[in-house]
Amino acid sequence: MGRESSIAVACLVALLASFVVFGEPHYSMDLSVDFAAGTVLGSLRLDYRNATDLPQTELFFRLYPNAIHIYGDASLRLLAVEVGGSSVEPRLFVEDTVLMVPLFIPLQPGETTSIELTFKASASSHVPDPQDELLNYGILTKSEGALVLTSFYPILAAYTEEGWAIDPPFPFGDALSAETASYDVRLTFPSGLTSITTGKLVEQTSSFGSTTHRFTIDQARDFSAVLATGLMEQTASVGTSTLHVWFTPGHSNAARRAIDVASASIELFELLIAPSPFDDIDIVEVPLNRVAGVEFSGLILVSSSYAAQPSTTFYDIIVSHEIAHQWFYAGVGNDPIESPWLDESLATYLSYVFLEAAAPLRTAARELVGWQSTFERARAEHPDAAIDSPLYAFPDSSTYSAFVYSGGAAMLDAIRREIGDAAFFAALATYYAQYEHHLAPEPALMAAFEEACACSLAAIRSEFGLDP
């Protein structure tokens, strides 16, 4: 996709008291939505403190919508970047999915700066063809009744032990990786639409056919939204959260089932791990392709195709799996390219733990046996792959799923049976407490299990092919 040959850039140093207190990036965004066109015109100010041990001479932002496989023909175009009122030449990398903003003066550890960006995001059009392996997921898409907005703005790249995480998005798996941040977002859209978003609605105004909502949230990995018509809301208070479920009237049974499964999952995961990371969690039915559900911070997307079949065990797995991601993705982050198993294996296995508690034992056992068989078949066909392989080591989506989802869940079950329930769930709680609001390094989860049992899990590592 073509990009403008020159982009104005500027750098502004600022110190915000709240920023210093929380020590996390802060996004201030003003967004104007053209629903019919499926576009967003936005301005963004990022207040950033260098929390690394090294001086930073540039900052990297992810422009995820320019990744054609997951996002289709969606796009994210920079109109202006300002750093202190002076122009510099930014650079685009990795098929225009990475923006490098150079800083005039190296930003020392602990110092702060602010970057201002103006951008235009365009959603792809929904093309219902779930059999097309190259079709976009539908996570930045305009359909007849909904505009799904995820990863639609420039997102500061995560900083890991290896440096800035700027791996290219792949045709399968997840791409979004970010540090937790605080958000203050003004979202303007045509009146008559329902806005379902990350964060808490703190202010709303209407004028001349437009509505403006202001949302705020701390310690979120993303700001995501769905603007829609024709959705019906159901709510429930569960644990420390309020659950909002938004489905079409024709899928009212799916909405009720989602409420039941999500409520039971939240109660269970709060008991076993920690309180929910968010006061409000929204589950929204939207058209998706190639995926059954997708997690974001306090916002879960469920495919309309699967909402048509709410009486299946797989529907329960979808909902409980995505709820689990609120703890392991939104709460504890990880690198979805280098170590996708950290969150996907846990979310898959926790959906089994939900089935153990809520369904007949034979139902849960049948799913686990199926995952074990899927993993063994894939392992025989791909002996060089492993559960803890990076995303780019897998040749296709089905192999990735067989190792990371099915194999990872089977391995976690083996660990649980080896060390016992008490040590297993104590390890998950400790792992969560240690890495909440951070990106967990790859060895951290296995280390938590070994610490909890005061034992070596080398035999299980070897059995399932993990690196020693």
Which CATH number characterizes residue 134's domain? 2.60.40.1730
- Looking at the fold, whether 27 and 76 belong to one and the same domain comes out as yes
Distance CA 356, CA 351 (A): 9
- Looking at the fold, whether 280 and 361 belong to one and the same domain comes out as no
Pick the last residue of a domain from 295, 324, 353. Answer: 324
Distance CA 133, CA 123 (A): 19
Residue 333 lies in a domain: no
Burial 147-175 (b: 16+ CB within 10 A, else e): bbbbbbbbbbbbbbeeebbbbebbebbbb
- Looking at the fold, whether 437 and 298 belong to one and the same domain comes out as no
Nearest to 445 by CA among 351, 163, 406, 467: 467
Residue 8 lies in a domain: no
Instruction: Specify the pLDDT at position 131.
Output: 53
- Looking at the fold, whether 348 and 435 belong to one and the same domain comes out as yes
Strands 124-125 and 140-142: parallel
* Residue 69 neighbours by CB under 8 Å, 6+ apart: 134, 136, 169, 170, 171, 172
User: Looking at residues 278-293, what average pLDDT do you find?
Assistant: 96
Q: Print the domain residue range for 385.
A: 341-464
> Taking 80 as the threshold, does the pLDDT of residue 1 lie above it?
no
- Looking at the fold, whether 204 and 262 belong to one and the same domain comes out as no
Q: Given CA atoms 228, 232, 234, 235 in this order, what sign does their dihedral have?
A: positive
Q: Which two tokens stand for residue 201?
A: 């609605």
Instruction: Specify the pLDDT at position 116.
Output: 96
> Taking 80 as the threshold, does the pLDDT of residue 17 lie above it?
no
Lowest mean pLDDT among 1-15, 77-91, 123-137, 381-395: 1-15
Give residue-wise pLDDT tens across range 200-249: 999 999 999 999 999 999 999 999 999 999 999 999 999 889 999 999 99
User: Are 140 and 226 within 8 A, CB to CB?
Assistant: no
Nearest to 219 by CA among 276, 179, 186, 161: 179
Crossing angle for the helix pair 252-272 and 313-324, nearest 10 degrees? 50
Distance CA 167, CA 337 (A): 7
Instruction: Specify the pLDDT at position 133.
Output: 52
* Residue 202 neighbours by CB under 8 Å, 6+ apart: 214, 215, 216
Residue 38 lies in a domain: yes
Residue 417 lies in a domain: yes
Give residue-wise pLDDT tens across range 169-182: 999 999 999 999 99
Pick the last residue of a domain from 195, 228, 261. Answer: 228
- Where residue 86 falls among pLDDT bands split at 50, 70, 90? confident
- Looking at the fold, whether 102 and 67 belong to one and the same domain comes out as yes
Residue 2 lies in a domain: no
> Taking 90 as the threshold, does the pLDDT of residue 56 lie above it?
yes
Total domains present in the chain: 3
- Looking at the fold, whether 182 and 59 belong to one and the same domain comes out as yes
Q: What is the pTM of this model?
A: 0.93
Residue 281 lies in a domain: yes
- Looking at the fold, whether 218 and 255 belong to one and the same domain comes out as no
Residue 200 lies in a domain: yes
Distance CA 411, CA 346 (A): 10
Please report, for the domain that includes residue 320, its CATH number. 1.10.390.10
**Measured CA angle at 201 (ends 198, 204), to 5 deg:** 130
Backbone dihedral angles phi then psi of residue 226, each to the nearest 5 degrees: -130, 125
- Looking at the fold, whether 439 and 292 belong to one and the same domain comes out as no
Length of the chain: 468
- Looking at the fold, whether 59 and 100 belong to one and the same domain comes out as yes
Distance CA 45, CA 293 (A): 30
- CB under 8 Å, gap of 24 or more: what pairs does 457-466 form? 457/415, 457/418, 457/419, 460/411, 460/414, 460/415, 460/418, 463/414, 464/386, 464/387, 464/407, 464/410, 464/411, 464/414, 465/379, 465/386, 465/387, 466/386, 466/387, 466/388, 466/411
Instruction: Specify the pLDDT at position 21.
Output: 35
* Residue 172 neighbours by CB under 8 Å, 6+ apart: 69, 290, 391, 394, 396, 397, 400
Give residue-wise pLDDT tens across range 360-378: 989 999 999 999 999 999 9
* Residue 365 neighbours by CB under 8 Å, 6+ apart: none
- Looking at the fold, whether 294 and 159 belong to one and the same domain comes out as no
Residue 10 lies in a domain: no
- Looking at the fold, whether 144 and 246 belong to one and the same domain comes out as no
Pick the last residue of a domain from 273, 290, 324. Answer: 324
Q: How many other β-carbons are positioned within 10 Å of the β-carbon of residue 462?
A: 10
